[in-house]
Structure 1
C-alpha cells in the first residue's frame, strides 16, 4: 500500500516544500498507479537541492520504499531505485570496478544527482551524468521506457530535471578500480592559480581550490591523484595542511576524507565522509559554469565584486568539468570552470547578492547549476544551450499532459 508523509524541507532547510504530501509506493506497480492517477507530480530524492526544482503545488513521489538492486552488466552497473553513491561505491569496489568520479559528498542519490548535472572535479572528468549509458523512465501513463546512449532522446533523458518522468533505474559506465592519494595545501599564490589554470587544475585527477577571495594566504588547493601523492603543489609554494582543515568559514568537524595516504577511489574522491554530516549543513549553495578558456577573466570579474558578498559567503570552491553532449548540461560542448558559492543560510541575503554576480558572469555565457540557488532568467540560460529547443520538444512529446511540470520548469525552461 502506498504510504504518505509530510514533504518537509530541503537538506539544509532553506526551502520548505509547498507540496501537500509525499507519496511512498512500495513497488513499481504501486508507483505506476500513483503516476497514472496524478494531475501533477514531481520526484523527491535525497533533497540535496537549494531551490524548488523538485517541488510541486500538489504531491511529490519518492522511491525510498521501492526495492533497490545493483547488478553488474559487463562493464556497466545497473542501479534500480533510490540508491546513493555511498551505497553503490563499496559494491563496485568489491567487484574490482569504479566510477570515473564522485561529487564532493557521496550522500546524494544517483538518480537525483544525474538528473541535475551534479559533478566532481577534473579537467578530463565529465559530470556524474556523463557516466550514464541508459536511463529507465516511467512516463505519465505509468509505462517504463529504456532510453540508452544510442537513442535519439538520450541527450535529453540523461539529464532531464525530472521533466520526462520518474527515473526508476540507470546504467552507469564503470572502469577498473584505482587508488587515490589526496592532500590539501595552503600558501599557493592566487596569481599562480589563475596564471596557469589548466596546469593547476590538470595537475591531478581531481583538483579543487577553496577561497574567500580576500585572504590568499589561506586559499586551499585540494588535489586528488591516482599516481601517488600530489607533491606538484609543493613545487608552486603549497604547504600541506595538518589534521585540522578549514574550508574558508565552513565548520569541518572530523567529517572530511583521509588525506596523505592512498586509499580506494570512493574513500578519497569525495571531500566528506559517507558516515558524517557533510559540509556545514546550515547553508545555501550557488554554482555557475563558465568556459574554461575564459576562466581567468571570469574569476577576475567575480573577484572585483567580492567585498559586496563577503558578509554572506562561507567559501567559494573552484572546480573544472569536461565537456559532454547532454542537452541541458552546464558543460554541454565546452570544458568549464565551476565557480561554486557556499553561503550562509540567509535566503533574502543570498538572493540579494546573486544578480550582481550573474551580471558579472553574463559576458561569459554562464550557466547555473540547476539544483542550486540562482536568479538568472530562463531565457538567458536557454540561450547558452543550443539543444534546449530539442529538449523542450522531447518533454512535450513524452509528457503531453504536463504531469511532471512545475513552477520551476515553467520559470526556467518555459515548459
Structure 2
C-alpha cells in the first residue's frame, strides 16, 4: 500500500511499514533492521523521515504518561499530537508556553525538526524538552536529560531522527493562561523599516501574512496574553498603518474563517488561540507545499525588501507567506541556535515543478543574511551551505556516531545534509 505524507507531495519508499504498540515491539524491529526511520504525523514535506527499507510509525504511542505538578513537567509518548496533549493539560490547569500554527502535529516529530510557534520571547517547541527516552541502534533504551548531561541534551533535542526511536519525552509546562486574538488589515511594508521591533513586541505572538501581490501585508495577527479572561485592553483602531478587522479572517485572503481560532478580541484558553486553526478542525490532505527560512532578527527589514524585489515571481505560486519571530535557544541543530530569529514561511500551491524554480531565487535573496531552512520543509540550498550554518554540526555528527555507529538511522537526507555524503 502506497504511503504518503500529510500534504500528499511525498511518497515514502520503505519496503516495510511498522506500527508497533509496545516498547518491546519497537526494540525488536530496531534490532532486526539494517536501515530504519521513524514518522510521526507525516507533516514533513521532504524525505527527512524516509527510508528505502523500514519505517516505524509512532501513531499508537499517543498517551500522556504522567504530570508532575511539583516540577511542572509532563511526560508523554512520542507519537502524541499537540492538540491531544494541550487538551489534557488544560483540564489539569497547565499549559505549554508555545504552540505551532497547526495543533495536529506530533510532539516527537515537531521537536526533532526544530518546529516552532512565534513570539519575540518564545523559543521553539524543542526547547521545552527536558528529557527523552530513545530506542537506539542496538535496541536498547537510552535516557537523555538536562539533569544528567545538559550539553548532550542540547544535541539530542533536535536530532532529526538520527538518534533512534523517541518513545517518550518530558516537557516543561506552565500554569494555564488566556489569550485574545485581534487582526489588523493592510500593513504597509515600509512601516516596518523603523518600527519592526515595536510591531513584533506588541503582543505575546505576532504574525504578518502577505500574499506578495503588493508591498502591503494583508494581515497582522496579534495574540495577547491576558492575566484573566476579562482583562481590559486599550485597543487602537489602527496598528502601524493597518486598520482593525471587523470580521474574522483566514490567513489566505478570500477563504472563510470558520476553521480559524476565534478572533475579534474574544478571550480564550491558550490552546484555543495560539494555533491559527481550531483543534476540532483536522486539515485534509494538503494540496499545498511549504518552505521556511529562519534568519537573525536584526536583518528582518532588509530581508523583506530583498523578497519584495522578486515578489512578482513568488506571488503566482503562493497561497500565503507568514513572517514571525522566535527566541534564540542553545539546541545544536535548531534553526534558532544562538540567534533571535525571524521566520519567512511560504505556503505554496501544489506545483513543485514551478516552486523548485523559485526557491533558489528566494535562497539567493536571503543568502546575505545566513538564512537557515526548516529541516522538515522544502528547500534547494546546497548541502555544504546548509552545513556551514550550524557551528555545532561536528559535535552533532559525533553524537549520532556514538549512539548509531553503523548508521542504522541514517538515510539519504541525513547522508546529504548532515554527513555531506551524496
Q: State TM-score, norm by structure 2.
A: 0.93
Q: Distance in 1 between matches of 2:106 and 2:395?
A: 27
Go from structure 1 to structure 2 and tell me whether the alpha carbon gap of 1:232 and 1:203 turns closer, same or farther (over 3 Å shift): farther
Partner of 1:209: 208
Which residue matches 1:179? Answer: 178
Q: Deviations over 1:362-412 (max 9, x none)?
A: 111110000000011121112111101100111111101111010111111
1:301-352 Cα offsets, whole Å, 9 max, x none, are: 1111111122111111001000000000000000011000000011111111
Report whether the alignment pairs 1:238 with 2:242: yes
Larger deviation, residues 57-66 vs 119-128: 57-66
Tell me which stretches of 4 or more aligned residues in structure 1 moved more than 4 Å: none
* Counterpart position of 2:400: 395
Query: Displacement, 1:253?
Result: 5.1
Distance 1:188 1:60 in 2: 45
**Structure 1 unaligned regions, length at least 5:** 1-5
- In 2, the alpha carbon distance for the partners of 1:413 and 1:96 equals 40
* Cα pair distance change 1:275/1:106, threshold 3 Å: same
Contact 1:7 1:19 survives alignment (8 Å): no
Q: How far 1:215 moved relative to its partner?
A: 3.0
Contact residue 62 and residue 80 of structure 2 kept, 8 A = no
Q: Please tell me the root mean square deviation across aligned C-alpha atoms, in Å.
A: 1.8
Contact 2:189–2:217, Cα closer than 8 Å, also in 1: no
Is residue 11 from structure 1 mapped to residue 6 from structure 2 by the alignment? yes
SS in 2 for 1:386: coil
Decide which of 383, 386, 390 is 1:378's aligned counterpart.
Answer: 383
Note the C-alpha offset of 1:243.
3.6
- Alpha-carbon shift at residue 277 of structure 1 (Å): 3.6
Kindly provide the CA deviation profile for residues 40-94 of structure 1, in whole angstroms up to 9, marking residues without a partner as x: 0000110011101101111100122346233112311111241111000111112
Distance change in 2, residues 1:325/1:339 (3 Å): same
CA distance in 2 between partners of 1:250 and 1:194 (Å): 28
**Which has the larger displacement, 183-192 or 22-31?**
183-192
Residue in structure 2 matched with residue 190 of structure 1 by the alignment: 189
Partners of 1:186 and 1:217 within 8 A in 2 = no
How many residue pairs were aligned? Answer: 410
- Unaligned stretches of 5+ in structure 2? none
In structure 1, distance between residues paired with 2:272 and 2:141 = 34
User: Structure 1 residue 250: deviation in Å?
Assistant: 7.2
Alignment deviations for residues 117-161 of structure 1 (CA, whole Å, 9 cap, x no partner): 111110100000011111111101111111111413111110000
Residues 306-325 of structure 1: matches in 2 within 5 Å?
A: 306-325=311-330
Equivalent of residue 51 in structure 1, options 43, 46, 60: 46
